Amino acid sequence: MDTTTIEGPGGRLQLLYSLPSPSATATTTTKPPILFVHGTMCSARDYAFFLPYLASRGFPAYALSVRGHGGSQEQSFLVKMLFTTADSWAQDIAAALSYVAARHPDADRPPVLGGHSLGGGRVASRA
């Protein structure tokens, strides 16, 4: 599992990821990438066990830490609790989704989104 950061509208965003190995896919995979979004007070680390498992089955797998969570741009507790909005989560998810889609132009489908708790609600609102 690896880590990268991307620039989001509210600052630096952390993405954890695992990519299929050549032995798992025989060629470049066309399976869609999967992007997970955590819940409140959690982080991308919640998906640390899932990412390598999915990659071993040929799926590029990513997990996002939205602003103020995990290794993403720090925010004070007050800002995180009072001023982080559903819209700011949606902006961070959109930035990560654009990054993931651009890294996998040969995928046969757009990225698959998954989430739990507030992350699940934000993902569902994109449907």
Q: What is the per-residue pLDDT across 2-52, written as a single tens digit (0 to 9) for each?
A: 999 999 988 899 999 999 987 654 446 789 999 999 988 889 999 999 999
Enter the DSSP assignment of 9. T
What is the model's pTM?
0.87
> What are the boundaries of each domain within the chain?
2-18+31-125
Q: Which residue did the predictor score with more confidence, 78 or 19?
A: 19
Q: Which residue did the predictor score with more confidence, 80 or 101?
A: 101
Enter the DSSP assignment of 121. H
- The first and second tokens of residue 113, run together, are 């989104």
CA distance 121 to 106: 28
CATH fit for domain 2-18+31-125, picks 3.40.190.10, 3.40.50.1820, 3.40.50.620, 1.20.120.1200: 3.40.50.1820
* Predicted local distance difference test score (pLDDT) of residue 87: 85
* Predicted local distance difference test score (pLDDT) of residue 69: 80
Instruction: Identify the band that residue 80 occupies on the pLDDT scale cut at 50, 70 and 90.
Output: low
- Span 103-124, pLDDT tens digits: 999 999 999 999 998 888 888 8
Q: What kind and span of H or E run contains 62?
A: strand 61-65
